[in-house]
Structure 1
Amino acid sequence: LTAVRMETKNGVIVLDRADGSLATLSMQGQPDRAVALKRRDTAELLAEELRRLDPDNTYESTVKFGVDKLHAGGEVKAAPVEEKPAEAEQKAPAAKKAPAKKAAAK
């Protein structure tokens, strides 16, 4: 989001942030003003969104009632996977890792 445009009875108000930190506030009949806007990091933005997270009623209903209907025709069980003894013996051993380089002294 780089710009907001609002139409009021007194005219259009535009807040445009093209470069990221400095925005331009334009109002009809007023000179344009430069406005410094703080750039927030992703962690801060996510924390705000999660604090304001509303319940998802559709998801809740699906989990409560829809999952039971997925296998209405009968219970489905996964077949166990068997490993053949010959295949287990043919697997190559894991390659050894090279020793880590020492950090330069400061």
Structure 2
Amino acid sequence: MDTDESVEEAIELLQQLGLKEYEARCFVGLSRLRSGTAKKLSEMTEVPRTRVYDAVRVLESQGLVEVQHSSPQEFRAVSLEEATETLRDQYEARVDRLENALNTIDIVDEGDDT
């Protein structure tokens, strides 16, 4: 698998874990850089520059990206280990909520008319 295929697979998997396309593209792009500006990230990921800021803001709120408030702003992805742990925790929390919700659903007997 070459780099382009790996990048596309990573983006797809991040989307399956709940990130939107631009968020996934920005995270993968930043994972390939030590740090980057919105301009550089936009050029690398083909995400419109104005949307890079929105995507990075979401990623920062999820603990996946750190923002250096300079001029211009610099963005950096957290370590791979930290990112995967954060995503794993979010996924497990969703599965736990699903389990709790399903456990509170009433069982319907076949003879019930409801």
What TM-score, normalized to structure 1?
0.29
Greater helix proportion: 2
Greater strand proportion: 1
Q: Greater Rg, structure 1 or structure 2? A: 1
